[in-house]
Amino acid sequence: MGVYILAIESSCDDTSAAVLKDNVLLSNVIANQDVHAQYGGVVPELASRAHQQNIIPVVSKALADAKISPKYLSAIAFTRGPGLLGSLLVGVSFAKAFAYALQIPLVEVDHLQGHILSHFIYKDTPSPKFPFLCLCVSGGHTQIVKVNDYFDMEIIGTTIDDAAGEAFDKVAKILDLPYPGGPMVDKLAKEGNPRAFSFSQAHLQGYNYSFSGLKTSFLYFLRDRLKEDADFAQKHLNDLCASIQYEIINSLMKKLVLAAKDLKIKEIAIAGGVSANSCLQQTLKETGQRYGWTVHIPSLKLSTDNAAMIGIAGYYKYQKGEFCPLDAVPYSRQTK
């Protein structure tokens, strides 16, 4: 009959629910929260309130889209962390209450493991073979992860300050672009010259990243140009976006190439919101051709936050019988 998992994701500002039958995605509903746009970033208090409003309609739609009655569900998977505590609490509490009412197991999922395991949702193309490297790039994290098995993952590189998505968002804010900035920078950069301007950035040893210096360099560069010409940002918007995007992607790729060479791994994946970036995807494909990699790029709906990825991680945990007690509490910071 198959395993039916209802998955809930509410770690930041997207309320999402998905239903999977084994590794096949039946529905994936995502409600974005427009309320944050006017503040130029996620306001945690408003995010948890919006989750409260969205959670039941989103779950109802996910069940309806999947054409499944709750009585057929095998388990409920939820994001336990990391993320905003107030946001997580809504999804965690809902998942517990629903699992208790249905008397079915509860499965906790780590948000970043979810991003990585999104590659195992059934599709026409093959999933990554173990061991593979996954560049996990989102608004909160930037990591190179060596994935030995579904739940055997080693973080071999990480950012020491800002995440790559945060760098995109901060640069967009400086340029007065709407939040989240990544998609807009990506769009404008398509019409710009990536070599128009260059910005200095920290070069760390090993596989670690640093993006806060790059953002500061961008800020000071713009501040100096604006003194000479108040319209500089408007006149050179596309070039500014293309140039900063080039620097971020270049930095991401350098460490990924280094790690792949050192560890002799040719199976390479990207995951997380920034993996939706068209320049990153293109650069990854080109680099992959040069080094003989097999590259894995998630579809747009599976790159930014979604419950489908929580569902697939939940499915593998369900198979192992790894259930979670009803007194589980969310965590805001990464624990593993």
Which residues in this chain contact ligand KG4 in the complex, by CB under 6 A?
12, 138-140, 165, 168-169, 180-183, 186, 272-274, 276-277, 304-305
Using rule CB under 5 A, residue 16 touches Zn ion: no
Q: CB under 8 Å to 25, separation ≥6 — which residues?
A: 18, 19, 121, 122, 308, 311, 312
Task: Count the helices and strands in the chain (H runs, E runs).
Answer: 11, 10
SS3 call for 296: strand
Kindly indicate which of the ranges 50-58, 237-245, 262-270, 305-313 contains the residues binding Zn ion, using the contact rule CB under 5 A: 305-313
Using rule CB under 5 A, residue 9 touches Zn ion: no
Tell me how crowded residue 321 is: count the other CB atoms within 10 A of its CB.
8
Q: What is the closest distance, in whole angstroms, from the C-beta atom of residue 228 to ligand KG4 in the complex?
A: 29
* Chosen residue from 62, 305, 311, 318 binding Zn ion by CB under 5 A: 305
Tell me how crowded residue 285 is: count the other CB atoms within 10 A of its CB.
13
Query: Between 73 and 302, whose beta carbon lies closer to ligand KG4?
Result: 302
- The span from the CA of 122 to the CA of 168, in Å, is 31
Q: What is the closest distance, in whole angstroms, from the C-beta atom of residue 152 to ligand KG4 in the complex?
A: 22
Using rule CB under 5 A, residue 245 touches Zn ion: no
- The span from the CA of 23 to the CA of 264, in Å, is 29
- The span from the CA of 139 to the CA of 144, in Å, is 15
Strands 142-149 vs 132-137: parallel, antiparallel or unpaired = antiparallel
Q: What is the closest distance, in whole angstroms, from the C-beta atom of residue 69 to Zn ion in the complex?
A: 30
Q: Could you tell which of Zn ion, ligand KG4, none binds residue 168, using a CB distance below 5 to 8 A set by kind?
A: ligand KG4
CA 288 vs. chain centroid, Å, equals 21
Q: Which residue has the tokens 């998505």?
A: 165
Query: Between 9 and 267, whose beta carbon lies closer to Zn ion?
Result: 9
* Chosen residue from 10, 15, 48, 138 binding Zn ion by CB under 5 A: 138
Query: Between 12 and 106, whose beta carbon lies closer to ligand KG4?
Result: 12
Query: Between 272 and 311, whose beta carbon lies closer to ligand KG4?
Result: 272
- The span from the CA of 275 to the CA of 256, in Å, is 13
Query: Between 169 and 267, whose beta carbon lies closer to ligand KG4?
Result: 169
Contact 241, 194 (CB under 8 A): no
Query: Between 99 and 171, whose beta carbon lies closer to ligand KG4?
Result: 171
Q: In terms of Cα–Cα distance, which of 15, 6, 121, 23 is closest to 68? A: 6
Using rule CB under 5 A, residue 251 touches Zn ion: no
Point out which residues pair with 29 in neighbouring strands. Answer: 17
Q: What is the closest distance, in whole angstroms, from the C-beta atom of residue 138 to ligand KG4 in the complex?
A: 3
Q: What is the closest distance, in whole angstroms, from the C-beta atom of residue 42 to Zn ion in the complex?
A: 12
Q: Could you tell which of ligand KG4, Zn ion, none binds residue 181, using a CB distance below 5 to 8 A set by kind?
A: ligand KG4
Query: Between 180 and 194, whose beta carbon lies closer to Zn ion?
Result: 180
> Which residues in this chain contact Zn ion in the complex, by CB under 5 A?
138, 305
